[in-house]
Amino acid sequence: MPRMDYLFTSESVSEGHPDKVCDRISDEIVDLVYREARKGGVDPWSVRIACETLATTNRVVIAGEVRLPSSLMKTDKNGNEVINPSRFKSAARRAIRDIGYEQDGFHWKTAKIDVLLHSQSADIAQGVDKSHETRDTEGSNDISEGAGDQGIMFGYACKETPELMPAPIYYAHKILELLAAARKSGEGDAAKLGPDAKSQVTIRYENDKPVEVTSIVLSTQHVDPSWDSKKVREVVEPYIRQAMGDLPIAEDCVWYINPTGKFVIGGPDGDAGLTGRKIIVDTYGGAAPHGGGAFSGKDTTKVDRSAAYAARYLAKNVVAAGLAEKCTIQIAYAIGVAQPVSVYVNLHDTGKNVTEVEVEKAIRSTMDLSPTGIRKHLDLNKPIYAKTASYGHFGRKPGRDGSFSWEKTDLAPKLKAAVKNG
C-alpha cells in the first residue's frame, strides 16, 4: 500500500541560476535556428541542433552539433561554408541581458563568448533522417524519422493543483516567478534582488493530499551588501505568501531565508553553470521518475525532449479525462527507430474503472508516438523553447505562439472514448 501521510519536498531555481543561464542560452539558440529556417524558407523539419552551454566568470562556451539554414553560415577565406558565430553570440548576449546580469564578474556586454558548434555526425543523421523501419522497407516513400537516440522518457500528472502538477514543485516555481517579476518591474525593495535564487518547499500530505506547508527555504542574491537574512525575509515573505495561494502555511512552519547570510556574488561568477543540470527542477520535482536526458538545447528529433513532452501530454490527458487521479507514463526508444519499443502506464491504484493495459492501448490508438508523429501532433517545429528554460517545462499555460502545446487537454475525449470502445 502506498503511504498516505508524509512530508514531501521539491526545489526550484531562478532564471539567473548558473545552470539556468546555460539552459536559456541553449534554448535561445534552438529558437534562433527554427526562426531562421522559417524566415529563409527552409523546411524546419530538416534543421538539427544539440547545443550545450558552459558559463563561468565573464565567459560563455557554446558547443554542440548542428545542421543549419544558410543564413547562419558564412564562407571562410578558403571558400568553404562554415558556421557564423556572430548570430549565436548575439543570441547569448540577449539572453544574459534579459535575465538581468550586469555585474563585474558576469555582464552581457563584456563576457567573452566562444562558439564551438560543428556539423552533425553523418552516422547519427542517417538514422534520424530515415527510420530503421523505412530503410528496411524496399521502395518505401515513407519519410518517418528515427529517434535521435535510445532512451526512456517519463510523463506524470496528478490532481494536486489546477495545472495537474505535484504541489511542492508547483509552489517552489511560483515563488521564484513572482520574485523575478517584482525584480524586473522595479517593485520596491524587490528591485534590489539579484537574478540568482533557489527555493525549496516542503508540504505535509494527509490521505495523499497536500494540506499545509511545513518548511520554506529561499536563498536569493541581492545587490545591497548591507542586507542580512532578516532584511531579505522582510522583502521576500509577502511574495512567498502570495505564491502559496490557498495552501496554508503551518503555524510552526520553519523558514530558512538566506540561511548562509549575505548573497551578493551570484550567477556564473559565483558558480559555474552547465546546460542540463537541473532536470528534476525542469520536470516534477522528484515526485515522478526522470529518464536522465535533459531537454534544453535540443531540437525535437531528440526524443529526450519531444517524447518527454508527449509523455506529459498523455499523462495529463489521462487525468483530465477522469480515468485516474495520478498517472505516470514511460516511453522508450531505440536510436534510428521510429516507433517506441515500449509504452508503460502506472495509475498508482487511482484508476477509475480502467486498467493500465486499457490505457496503454488507448494511448497507442490515439497518438502516433514516432518522433515525426509527436512533432506533428504537438506542432513542435517552432521557436518556442527559450521560455521553457526556467520555472519548469510542465504545468505552464499553452501560448498563442504554440508554446507549451503539450499542456493542452484536447486529447482527453479521444482517450476516454478509446478506453470505452476497447
pLDDT > 70? residue 205: yes
The Cα 15–Cα 99 span in angstroms is 6
State residue 191's pLDDT score.
Answer: 97
Read off the pLDDT of residues 277-295 as tens digits, 9 standing for 90 and up.
999 999 999 999 999 799 9
State residue 140's pLDDT score.
Answer: 40
In a 3-state reduction of DSSP, which class is residue 377?
helix
Q: Which of the four pLDDT bands, split at 50, 70 and 90, describes residue 129?
A: low
This prediction's pTM:
0.93
Handedness of CA 355, 361, 366, 371 (dihedral sign): positive
Read off the pLDDT of residues 298-308 as tens digits, 9 standing for 90 and up.
999 999 999 99
Helix-strand-coil percent breakdown of the chain, rounded to 5? 35, 25, 35
State residue 138's pLDDT score.
Answer: 44
Q: Which of the four pLDDT bands, split at 50, 70 and 90, describes residue 37?
A: confident
Backbone angles phi, psi at 101, to 5 degrees: -90, 110
pLDDT > 60? residue 211: yes
Q: Which of the four pLDDT bands, split at 50, 70 and 90, describes residue 207?
A: very high
Query: Which residues are known catalytic residues?
Result: 17, 19-20, 52, 65, 198, 263, 271-272, 277-278, 298, 302, 304
Question: Judging by DSSP bridges, how do beta strands 59-67 and 48-56 pair with one another?
Answer: antiparallel
State residue 369's pLDDT score.
Answer: 97
State residue 134's pLDDT score.
Answer: 52
Where would I find the beta strands (DSSP E) of 319-363?
326-333, 342-346
pLDDT > 80? residue 41: no
Read off the pLDDT of residues 217-260 as tens digits, 9 standing for 90 and up.
999 999 999 999 999 999 999 999 999 999 999 999 999 999 99
Mean pLDDT of 47-61: 96
State residue 135's pLDDT score.
Answer: 44
Query: In percent, how much of the chain has pLDDT > 70?
Result: 94
The overall average pLDDT reported for the chain is 92
State residue 156's pLDDT score.
Answer: 98
Read off the pLDDT of residues 131-179 as tens digits, 9 standing for 90 and up.
545 544 444 444 567 887 889 999 999 999 999 999 999 999 999 999 9
- Characterize 402-417 residue by residue with b for buried, 16 or more Cβ atoms within 10 angstroms of its Cβ, and e for exposed: ebbbbbebebbeebbe
Backbone angles phi, psi at 290, to 5 degrees: -130, 140
Query: Is 336 in contact with 176 (CB distance < 8 Å)?
Result: no
Ordered by where they begin, the domains of the chain are: 6-14+168-265 (3.30.300.10), 18-129 (3.30.300.10)
Query: Is 145 in contact with 133 (CB distance < 8 Å)?
Result: no
Q: Which of the four pLDDT bands, split at 50, 70 and 90, describes residue 420?
A: confident
Question: Judging by DSSP bridges, how do beta strands 326-333 and 59-67 pair with one another?
Answer: unpaired
